Amino acid sequence: MNAPVLVINCGSSSIKYALVPDTPDQPRLAGLAERLGSSDARLKGTDSQGETYTQALSGADHTAALEAILTRLEGRRPGAVGHRIVHGGERFTRAARIDDDVVAAIEATAALAPLHNPANLQGIAATRQVFAALPQVAVFDTAFHQTLPPRAYRYALPEALYRDHGIRRYGFHGTSHAYVSARADALSGLDSGGWLTAHLGNGCSTAAVWEGQSRDTSMGLTPLEGLVMGTRSGDVDPGLHAHLARQLGWSLARIDEVLNRGSGLLGLSGLTNDMRELESAAKAGHAGAELAIEVFCYRIAKSLAALSCALPRLDGIVFTGGIGENSPQVRQRVVEALPHFGCRLDAAANRSTTLGREGRIDAGGPQLWVIPTDEEGRIAAETRQLLQEGHA
Ligand code: AMP
């Protein structure tokens, strides 16, 4: 299939789109419809000349937003639609062509991702209406981690919770970990290495990838487990919930809200979840900002050290995501906390590898790479591959 793939990432009030051509020499069209369902709904994006646009879509729902997106494709006709779907449970170990059965399976998994899967389904329903003739493919955030062995995905909980309710570790950001580890294989010349990948954005996770397969990862049943994130706490004592309920009388909803939206870099610093702002505040002497960065970096290093147990051999570490791609300071602090790995940072290469640049930043020891993630590109590639294999 030579036609471009339209990649859709649908939230409850937003649709992110990218029209991904099959060759990198053609420009990508991309944009975001946001605040859907409200009077100030709008569509923002970039055209093929690199010019940005903003279009008011007052009161638009998902279907109306997709119709507006269609008019922004400059007459280029997609050959398929690839949907980012957050949770595929245990059923989906790879991308799947969307039909009624797949929609029902995504619905059945909604209990595990109540904020995301229903919104993803809204996107599928609207897209099937607006692009009725096109094949649609679901690409799951969890699928790449379905190769985890039981020792990595099982919690030490009563077996019935796993068997009857699917309580286990699933992992997320799979598309990103899959993309950057494959890219590290290609760039390093190692046919298939042992990589620790660190996706550090607003959401953060690590993964251990061996011979192209995920062997362990830091996120679990939900995307709350693991690293410190923008506003998410990551790991806390599992006794915390009961303690807050008993001592402070907090409801489950309040605890969930605080751990998901009021914690992480924001909670620690008392200032912001934005790493750029934290770095400048810390430089100006803000103690909370400094502490937030220190805890953030230490916890990444600790997670990487733990995940190294999943690899028979460590070839290198890959940094990606908004922070991983752009913050030399965070990379340096993480690497400095891993002296026992034998890591040696090339300080000049670390400083200059930012702003979407791909590059190697070590001076010996395990390889250290900065690889800008490309989740849209990977979703488009998986969509193409599935359709070419004739699973259509
Ligand atoms: P993402 O969710 O991948 O878009 O990443 C968002 C995070 O990347 C935010 O915390 C930003 O502050 C951070 N980020 C973006 N650019 C920079 C930069 N130049 N230096 C430090 N952090 C950055």
Are residues 100 and 234 located together in one domain of the fold? Answer: no
Are residues 195 and 134 located together in one domain of the fold? Answer: no
Are residues 207 and 330 located together in one domain of the fold? Answer: yes
**Ligand 1, residues 16, 300, 320, 327: which to mutate, most atoms within 8 A of Cβ?**
327
Q: What is the pLDDT of residues 131-164, one digit of tens each?
A: 999 999 999 999 999 999 999 999 999 999 999 9
**Would residue 98 count as lying in a domain?**
yes
Report the atom number in ligand 1 closest to the C-alpha of 273.
Answer: 10
Provide the domain count of the chain: 2
Are residues 209 and 132 located together in one domain of the fold? Answer: no
The closest residue, in CA terms, to atom 15 on ligand 1 is 322
**Would residue 134 count as lying in a domain?**
yes
**Would residue 254 count as lying in a domain?**
yes
351 is in an annotated binding site: no
- Number of Cβ atoms within 10 Å of the Cβ of 311: 18
Are residues 205 and 85 located together in one domain of the fold? Answer: no
Q: What is the pLDDT of residues 49-71, one digit of tens each?
A: 999 999 999 999 999 999 999 99
pLDDT 10s digit of each residue in the chain, 392 long?
A: 889 999 999 998 999 999 999 988 889 999 999 999 999 999 999 999 999 999 999 999 999 999 999 999 999 999 999 999 999 999 999 999 999 999 999 999 998 888 889 999 999 999 999 999 999 999 999 999 999 999 999 999 999 999 999 999 999 999 999 999 999 999 999 988 999 999 999 999 999 999 999 999 999 999 999 999 999 999 999 999 999 999 999 999 999 999 999 999 999 999 999 999 999 999 999 999 999 999 999 999 999 999 999 999 999 999 999 999 999 999 999 999 999 999 999 999 999 999 999 999 999 999 999 999 999 999 999 999 999 997 44
CATH number of the domain to which 362 belongs? 3.30.420.40
**Would residue 228 count as lying in a domain?**
yes
Distance (Å) from CA 9 to ligand 1 centroid:
20
What is the CA angle 324-325-328, rounded to 5? Answer: 75
**Would residue 333 count as lying in a domain?**
yes
**Would residue 162 count as lying in a domain?**
no
**Would residue 146 count as lying in a domain?**
no
**Does residue 141 carry a catalytic annotation?**
yes
| Domain limits for position 262 | 190-375
Distance (Å) from CA 275 to ligand 1 centroid:
6
Are residues 134 and 199 located together in one domain of the fold? Answer: no
Are residues 136 and 206 located together in one domain of the fold? Answer: no
Query: Could you tell me if the CB of 330 is within 6 A of ligand 1?
Result: no
Closest CA to 56 of 40, 37, 34, 35: 40
